[in-house]
């Protein structure tokens, strides 16, 4: 049974930082595609960042480029999203997603429906 569990969200002031974590269990993500999505009330889910460990690939949405950093720790089976210089418009529920194939990382913009596994989310609120 594959499970993704996010943590690390919280309430911060504008300009603050957080480190979001996505712990995977039930499979090892040494070679796969993982991503972070976010969804604010009344808005569509947005692909924020993605990483493929089978090659040198990362993706960032234009809105977070230079402020967010995606990474993986294979020893801990955990993916991270370091979020810096937070803005009120970054307020959203942040979700992680994973797939053991490279397919979801081969499209121009990550789409949640392409991933086999998704977590329940962690809330980030910026005021």
pLDDT, average across residues 117-125: 96
Mean pLDDT, range 1-30, rounded to an integer: 90
The 10s digit of each residue's pLDDT in 77-105 is: 899 999 999 999 999 999 999 998 888 99
Q: In angstroms, rounded to a whole number, what is the distance separating the alpha carbons of residues 42 and 12?
A: 21
Query: Could you write out the three-class secondary structure of the chain?
Result: CCEEEEECCEEECCCCCEEEEEEEECCCCCCCEEEEEEECCCCCCEEEEEEECCCCEEEECCCCCCCEEEEEECCCCEEEEEECCCCHHHCEEEEEEEECCCHHHCCCCCCHHHCCEECCCEEEEEC
Q: By the 8 A CB rule, do 35 and 57 touch?
A: no
Phi, psi of 113 (to 5 degrees): -70, -10
pLDDT surpassing 80 at residue 27: no
The Cα 107–Cα 6 span in angstroms is 24
């Amino acid at each position: 049974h594959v499970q993704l569990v996010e943590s690390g969200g919280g309430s911060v002031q504008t300009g603050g930082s957080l480190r979001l974590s996505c712990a995977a269990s039930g499979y090892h993500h040494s070679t796969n595609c993982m991503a972070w999505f976010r969804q604010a009330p009344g808005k569509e889910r947005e692909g924020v960042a993605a990483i493929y460990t089978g090659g040198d690939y990362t993706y960032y949405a234009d809105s977070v480029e230079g402020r967010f950093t995606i990474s993986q720790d294979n020893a801990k089976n955990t993916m991270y999203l370091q979020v810096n210089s937070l803005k009120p418009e970054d307020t959203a529920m942040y979700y992680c997603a994973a797939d053991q194939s490279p397919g979801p990382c081969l499209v121009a913009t990550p789409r949640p429906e392409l991933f086999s596994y998704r977590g329940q989310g962690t809330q980030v609120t910026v005021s």
